[in-house]
Amino acid sequence: MVLRVDRDGAQWNDVPWKFEAGTPPIAQAIGLGAAVDFLAQFDRAALLAHQRTLTSRAHQMLSQVEGIRLLGPDPEHETKGGIISFVVEGAHPHDLAQLLDHDGVAIRAGHHCTMPLHERFGIAASTRASFALYNTMAEIDRLAESIDRARRTLGRPSGRPAPSHQERS
């Protein structure tokens, strides 16, 4: 980080070394190596096929849930990964995530580093589910069932909109 330090000041190293103070991320490097070793035992084409099958099933199941709006490309799109983003009418994404957590279903809620996209879609936040090699078709079905149950729990009386993000703060 530094080239020289004395009582009168310090002389900083050149970029990028001047930003590398402290202990290197040893645990993270070991974890990354373990993850690479783990993934190397699988056929990449088979992993991708599994992920696409899960994503297609999730699109199919979630599109049947009343009041859900799926965001992003259809699962057949060549750039579609194992992520489905959505909003549920009458349910704030954080409330939805909390209820799904009680069902043992892990999802993410928030801006997902895409605030301009949320603004374009006219939504305060969204929810997303991600799929990988360890997920199963049964978990996709459970996701859809849990979202539907949460939607009914959080549902608003007819004609009464859900509070906006600003109203909830």
Say which of 27, 40, 45, 113 is annotated catalytic. 113
Backbone phi, psi, residue 93, to 5°: -55, -35
List Cα–Cα distances, 48 to 53, 60, 83, 158, in angstroms: 9, 18, 13, 42
CA atoms within a 13 Å half-sphere pointing along the CA-CB vector of 88: 30
Structure tokens at 121: 């879609």
Look at residue 144 in the predicted model and tell me its pLDDT: 96
User: How far apart are alpha carbons 36 and 127 in whole angstroms?
Assistant: 28
Contact, 56 vs 75, CB < 8 A? yes
Q: Residue 45: exposed, middle, or buried by beta-carbon count in 10 A (0-12, 13-18, 19+)?
A: exposed
Query: pTM for this structure?
Result: 0.74
User: How far apart are alpha carbons 38 and 157 in whole angstroms?
Assistant: 49
Q: Which residues pair with 130 in a beta bridge?
A: 83
CATH of 44-161, one of 3.40.228.10, 2.120.10.30, 3.40.50.2300, 3.90.1150.10: 3.90.1150.10
**113 among known catalytic residues:** yes
Query: Could you read off the pLDDT tens digit of each residue along the chain, which spans 169 residues?
Result: 888 888 888 898 999 888 877 778 899 999 999 999 999 999 999 999 999 999 999 999 999 999 999 998 888 888 888 999 999 998 999 999 999 999 999 999 999 988 888 999 999 999 999 999 999 999 999 999 999 999 999 875 444 444 444 444 3
